[in-house]
Amino acid sequence: MENTREKVVVKTSIISIISNIILASFKAFVGLLANSIAIISDAVNNLSDALSSIITIVGTKLAGKAPDKNHPYGYGRIEYMTSFIVSAIVLYAGITSLVESIKKIIHPEASDYSLITLVILVSAIIVKFILGIYVKKKGKEVNSDSLVASGSDAFNDAILSISVLASAIIYLLFKISIEAYVGILLSLFIIKSGFDLIKESVNNILGVRIESNLAKSIKRDITKEEEIQGAYDLVLNDYGPDKYLGSIHIEVADTLTVADIDRLSRKISKMILKKYGVILHTIGVYSINTKDKKVMNIKKDITKIVFSNKGILQMHGFYIDEKEKRISFDIIIDFKLKNREEVYKKIYDEVQNKYKDYEIEITLDVDTSD
């Protein structure tokens, strides 16, 4: 599967490189002949796209390296680093084009468009639209952020080339030169795309929240097991596209044996790996009291105390150890709340004051997934 993905990314990137180099060459030639900064800026943009595709190939090849002792989770995250480099190149191309366009406004020079200029621009627009559709489709098929970004960029390029074409037609018809201003428009668009791509790359490197549907589906499938009454604290660490390793807590009755839990854990791990390609390397356990009926009344009372506070998203892992006289549970407080620690302390104090005979253990859990 991984080899197939790599082949698709490399093949698609090579097609993109060849197309962009041809387009950049024609546009640069026509831009120099017509003395058009807008067309030259468009050529620079195509050249940066070709360079981006080269970096995508290098990143994909490096990311496909097998795990080793120093990198036991593989090299998948290299793709996110190469995406960042691609973003920086796009940003640099935009800034360079902006500077040249401003110079052209300060020191205007007459342009000299011709019929061949229009033909090449129209051809470039058509090629870019086709290339965008193809690259984006392949990117989605193999879950490659770099290819999807390149496909979207190709669409943007086609739209920007339409503005260059429009400025050429306006000049030919009315002898009004707006191509320097179109160059600025092009440049600002490229700069925005660069910043957007950088933001996405940084988010992938830092680690982002698990996609909601994936998290909910995994938890739902786990709780379909008869002996499991809840699934919480799902954490997935992203080690590259489609490479997730993580952990989860399951809630089970305190009557289950270690052998029962071992059987359940192995069954869950195999099922989640087969269905989602996610490796759950750790499955923790929350025990549910089943031997003492008064626990339900205490839990109901404490639940009321907890959820009387704003920003409480979840309470789970509730357990009372009568022998040790200990009450334990976890709470999740919304990140939007600025005074999370204060809310935690308030809940702790209220519970401890009401149940003075017990040692209270409340874990302030992290809102890692839906």
Q: Look at residues 365, 354, 267, 250 and name the one whose alpha carbon lies nearest to residue 312.
A: 365
Looking at the predicted structure, is the pLDDT value of residue 242 above 70?
A: no
Q: Where are the domains of the chain?
A: 2-206, 212-365
- What is the DSSP code (8-state) at residue 211? P
Looking at the predicted structure, is the pLDDT value of residue 2 above 60?
A: no
**pLDDT > 70 in the chain, percent:** 97
Looking at the predicted structure, is the pLDDT value of residue 4 above 80?
A: no
Q: Packing angle between helix 145-174 and helix 2-34, nearest 10 degrees?
A: 20
β strands within 62-170, DSSP E: none
- For domain 212-365, the CATH architecture is 2-Layer Sandwich (3.30)
Q: Look at residues 266, 295, 282 and name the one whose alpha carbon lies nearest to residue 358.
A: 295
| Mean pLDDT along residues 177-203 | 81
Q: Look at residues 62, 80, 12, 4 and name the one whose alpha carbon lies nearest to residue 238.
A: 80
CATH of domain 2-206: 1.20.1510.10
| Mean pLDDT along residues 153-166 | 78
Q: How confident is the model at residue 241 (pLDDT cuts 50, 70, 90)?
A: low
Torsion, CA 1, CA 215, CA 245, CA 251, rounded to 10: -130
Coil vs helix vs strand at 322: coil
Q: 49 or 337, which is more confident? A: 337
Q: How far apart are CA 31 and CA 194, in angstroms?
A: 24
pTM score of the predicted model: 0.66
Cβ neighbours of 281 (radius 10 Å)? 9
| Mean pLDDT along residues 203-220 | 85
